[in-house]
Structure 1
Amino acid sequence: HLKITAPQESPNTNGIDISASNRLYIYDSFIGTDDDCVAINEFSSYINISRIMCGPEHGINIGSLGKDGAYETVEEVHVADCTFTGTMNGARIKTWKARIRKP
């Protein structure tokens, strides 16, 4: 059970940043920051998020993945029974456009 807060005027204050991790459980917590409540980044898998109160700002985000054509994976993310208040999104996936190489 966590309570993570940051002043609303503090930019880029993610609540929880996950990278290159697996088999994580985040549950029964309040996260109120001025950026992502939970940011899930490259090479993470089996992330379970449930019963989180999240807001304001960006909600739960996967990525941004694939910048400059990088191969980055995120697998088996499960979000259930969460409450999003004043967020721009609930849960979303962010990727970069693929570069198409011309011969």
Structure 2
Amino acid sequence: MEQLFREHFGTLIATLITGFGGWFFGRKKAAAEVEASQIENAEKLLEFYKNLADDLGKRLENAIKEFNDAKKIISELEEKVEDLTTELRKYKQLNGKLQ
């Protein structure tokens, strides 16, 4: 067992040193990659919300237009009802049904 340990001791030390060196020098790169990824995700999220706000703005404009059109139609129908009511009163007066 001791002979096996002696034979591979140099390999073990080299592996540990290489691992530590990789971690030590790679941590700045890893941190920079994480930060770049976070910035990229924030940009994508910002673009998503911008598109969402633009879409909602267009929908609101369409809803306002439809509402104004509906108000116009309602107003026209109210006028027609008023005219028909007036005309009905006249017919009733001619027939003597109203006093």
Shorter-chain TM band = under 0.3
Which has a greater percent of strand?
A: 1
TM-score (norm 1): 0.17
User: Larger Rg: 1 or 2?
Assistant: 2
TM-score (norm: length of structure 2): 0.17
| Structure whose residues are more often helix by fraction | 2
